[in-house]
Amino acid sequence: MHALIQRIWHGFVVIALVATATFVLVRLAPGDPFAAALENARLTPALREQWRAAYGLDGSIGTQFAHWIASLARGDLGFSTSTNQPVSRAIAAALPNTLLLIGTSIVIAFMLGIWLGAVQAAGRGGIVDRCIGAITLIGNAVPDFWLALVMLLAGSYWLRLFPVGGVADLLLPLGASWPVLLLDRARHLVLPVLTMVILLVAPIARLQRTALLDRLGAEWVRTATAKGVARRTVFRRHAWRTALGPVVTMGGIALPSLFGGAVFIERVFAWPGMGRLAAEAVAARDYHLVVGCVLVGTVMVVIGSMLADHVSAWLDPRLTQDGFEPGRGLA
């Protein structure tokens, strides 16, 4: 319980620091936030002054900061000039798609990665181990945006199996039955998820392999085997649970890179998620939107890491000790 409170406090401090940092960034950005709107001839100086007052840009730094925090607490992240709506609304529309993408990928990648890692550990040194090892090695090395392009090329252009992008086929008849709609959604989901899964499976499988080998050699496992417990049972009951711990922890640590990877993958597949939103916002000089995405992304990461920490501590209490290195850490 006490650990949970500490973690929540920790997460809160992190978010507060990031919010402050983003405030500084927004203020430091050269030019008036309304510069993009300057081209609009209907924006008279008087009107501009009104807008500036409305956004608290005319006060001292202190009041501006207070204003910023207050609006964050309200959920008001500013106005997005490129999409002509409040930032929060733009993000709220996009975030679920990103979460769908990342969530599905995490689930599949974990199951696949853990299974592959276990297969490798069981057949250590053999041909299967080496093959899977080679694949995961490459999976670790390939750039996310490039892999997405390759997937697109192979899956959509060459094999013509999957749609070129987007979340759903807009041309489906409205009255189509739900299995058809679901299938359509699934087809659109395949390539982006496959890309992310390949990227995720590699480190998971490698870590799982190392963690399992580490534990299988551990004293207490050997004792169980010596006591006469069947090897499979030893594996399933004893080694399994603790080997999951570091993998889950790694998941927590890898979360930021997942959100980063989403930016590229969503762009390639025209997936309307927060990542693509951020990239487009940059191109459109919509600074408030960019900052909003950063903030929301960080909050997601913090929540995710806290969850991962909690779960992995439950799985293997040793991980809560300072300096304990489960298997070897990842890059």
Residue 80 binding another protein, by CB under 8 A: no
Pick the closer one to another protein by CB: 235 or 264: 264
Q: What SS3 state is found at 126?
A: coil
Pick the closer one to another protein by CB: 92 or 229: 92
Residue 148 φ then ψ, to 5°: -60, -45
Q: Which of 46, 141, 170, 226 binds another protein (CB under 8 A)?
A: 141
Site string for another protein, 246-275 (x = CB under 8 A): ----------xxxxxx-xx--xx-------
Closest listed residue to residue 254, CA positions, set 140, 100, 164: 140
Residue 145 binding another protein, by CB under 8 A: yes
Classify residue 276 as exposed, middle or buried by CB count within 10 Å of its CB (0-12, 13-18, 19+). Answer: buried
Contacts of 78 (CB under 8 A, 6+ apart): 55, 71, 86, 87, 288, 289, 291, 292
Pick the closer one to another protein by CB: 190 or 229: 190
Residue 149 binding another protein, by CB under 8 A: yes
- Note the Cα 280 to chain centre separation in Å: 18
At closest approach, how far in Å is the CB of 11 from another protein?
9
Tell me, letter by letter, the H, E, C secondary structure of 256-314: HHHHHHHHHHHHHCCCCCHHHHHHHHHHCCCHHHHHHHHHHHHHHHHHHHHHHHHHHHH
Pick the closer one to another protein by CB: 33 or 86: 33
Structure tokens at 245: 């711990």
Pick the closer one to another protein by CB: 170 or 283: 283
Site string for another protein, 184-213 (x = CB under 8 A): -------------------------xx--x
Residues that bind another protein (CB under 8 A): 2, 5-6, 10, 13-14, 17-18, 21-22, 25, 29-31, 137-138, 140-146, 149-150, 152-153, 157, 209-210, 213-214, 256-261, 263-264, 267-268, 278-279, 281-283, 285, 287, 290-291, 293-294, 297-298, 301-302, 305, 322-323, 327-328, 331
